[in-house]
């Protein structure tokens, strides 16, 4: 990798699907009636999205998207974040843009003009949450699916300590090109590239491609244990974790209530989950964990410290509805005695 003379302006720049989440409570009978697998994420078209929306209980709308949630978390920690994603020139696109900028995140991606008229309105994710807090997601990508390599600002990428790529972008071809362009620009500038595996269905569809990308281009990989198992087609957690660590600089793997495991070279640390009085909604838990880990690594913290920031952020978000922090993560970190080195 070559080095750039550009100063670092952002701790994390994320490239992802710009999505507005629609969250509603449900029971297992509803999921069964809709033919949905509990805890899964699947892509739906405009017609399927409209039908499910009509069937869902009353809920709340909140700007989301996995990588968007993560950089909102970075902003809540007081970090410097940027986001690359595609929205349409419609009401939901305005909501997404307002919300992510209000979180202190730089967002200047060109809007998809006329997207709504073409059936490509701003993407939305319909999330049905059972009483145990588990979420089942159906995503209509819409305008988010139109992200392309032309949307990647190489200078912005070069000014970011870590470029974070959302695994969901392995699905649509134009977005895959954007994904590859961002990774190339980051490495050309000597910056680190992080990727999240996003979901087991992503791993199942693109396992060979993901493995090739990780080995060739990923410096940091984030995953949950189900995604890790799917990637290496084994239920042996320790063996899979060790294999992932051999392919990348840092591997961070979440294990739900059991916390997380972070590995780098021969170093392995286990981080406990922060206690939560009641789990309300697990939407965004992995995204906020990523926010803490990535910001910690960008600021030069140890694996243990970065993982602890991740656990803190995940605990905050699962205690309420919605995928983004409602309480300042920076304040919570200070209360917990966790300090970030200055940018």
Which pLDDT tens digit goes with each residue over 11-50?
A: 999 999 999 988 899 999 999 999 999 998 888 998 899 8
Task: Bin 31: left if φ > 0, else alpha if -120 < ψ < 50, else beta.
Answer: alpha
Identify any residues that bridge with 139 across adjacent strands, giving them in sequence order.
43, 125
Taking 50 as the pLDDT cut, the residues of the chain under it are: 1
**Residue 84 DSSP class:** E
H-helix or E-strand spanning residue 158: helix 154-158
List the domains of the chain with CATH numbers. 10-17+64-116+142-335 (3.40.1190.20)
| Residue 68 vs residues 18, 43, 129, 294: alpha-carbon distances, Å | 7, 18, 20, 14
Task: Bin 237: left if φ > 0, else alpha if -120 < ψ < 50, else beta.
Answer: alpha
pLDDT of res. 287: 97
Residues ≥6 apart with Cβ < 8 Å to 40: 136, 137, 199, 201
pLDDT of res. 14: 98
Lookup: tokens for 42? 């699947």
Torsion of CA 257, 263, 268, 273, to 10 degrees: -20
Kind of pairing between the strands at 60-64 and 260-264: unpaired
Task: Cite the beta strand spans of the chain per DSSP E.
Answer: 10-15, 19-25, 41-43, 60-64, 81-84, 105-107, 123-129, 135-140, 160-166, 192-196, 220-224, 250-254, 260-264, 267-271
Q: Residue 153: CA atoms inside 13 Å, Cβ hemisphere, count?
A: 15
C-alpha to C-alpha distance for 18 and 108, rounded to whole angstroms: 12
- Identify the sign of the CA torsion 309, 223, 124, 282: negative
Strand order, beta sheet including 192-196: 105-107, 81-84, 10-15, 160-166, 192-196, 220-224, 250-254, 260-264, 267-271
pTM over 0.85: yes
C-alpha to C-alpha distance for 76 and 300, rounded to whole angstroms: 18
Kind of pairing between the strands at 81-84 and 10-15: parallel
pLDDT of res. 5: 61
pLDDT of res. 30: 97
Identify any residues that bridge with 285 across adjacent strands, giving them in sequence order.
none
| Residue 159 vs residues 177, 179, 221: alpha-carbon distances, Å | 20, 17, 21
C-alpha to C-alpha distance for 283 and 281, rounded to whole angstroms: 6
Identify any residues that bridge with 170 across adjacent strands, giving them in sequence order.
none
User: Count of residues for the chain?
Assistant: 343
């Amino acid at each position: 990798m070559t080095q750039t003379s550009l100063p670092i302006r952002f701790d994390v720049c994320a490239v992802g699907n710009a999505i507005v989440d629609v969250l509603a409570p449900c029971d297992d009978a509803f999921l069964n009636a809709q033919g949905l697998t509990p805890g899964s994420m699947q892509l739906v078209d405009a017609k399927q999205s409209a039908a499910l929306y009509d069937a869902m209980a009353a809920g709340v709308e909140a700007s989301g998207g996995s990588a968007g949630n993560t950089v909102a978390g970075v902003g809540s920690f007081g970090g410097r974040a940027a986001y690359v994603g595609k929205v349409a020139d419609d009401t939901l696109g305005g909501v997404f843009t307002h919300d992510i900028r209000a979180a202190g995140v730089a967002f200047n991606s060109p809007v998809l003009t006329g997207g709504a008229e073409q059936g490509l309105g701003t993407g939305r994710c319909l999330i049905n949450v059972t009483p145990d807090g588990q979420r089942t997601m159906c995503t209509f990508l819409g305008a988010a699916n139109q992200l392309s390599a032309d949307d990647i600002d190489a200078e912005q990428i070069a000014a970011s300590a870590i470029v974070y790529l959302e695994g969901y972008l392995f699905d649509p071809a134009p977005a895959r090109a954007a994904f590859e362009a961002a990774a190339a620009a980051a490495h050309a500038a000597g910056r680190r590239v992080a990727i999240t595996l996003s979901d087991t269905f992503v791993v199942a569809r693109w396992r060979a491609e993901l493995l090739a990308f990780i080995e060739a281009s990923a410096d940091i990989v984030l995953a949950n244990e189900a995604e890790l198992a799917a990637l290496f087609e084994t239920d042996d957690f320790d063996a899979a974790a060790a294999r992932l660590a051999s392919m990348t600089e840092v591997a961070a793997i979440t294990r739900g209530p059991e916390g997380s495991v972070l590995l780098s070279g021969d170093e392995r640390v286990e981080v406990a989950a922060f206690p939560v009085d009641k789990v309300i909604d697990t939407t965004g838990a992995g995204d906020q964990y990523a926010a803490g880990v990535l910001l910690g690594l960008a600021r030069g913290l140890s694996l243990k410290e970065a993982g602890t920031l991740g656990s803190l952020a995940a605990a905050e978000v699962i205690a309420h509805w919605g995928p983004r922090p409602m309480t300042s993560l920076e304040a919570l970190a200070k209360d917990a005695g966790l300090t970030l080195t200055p940018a």
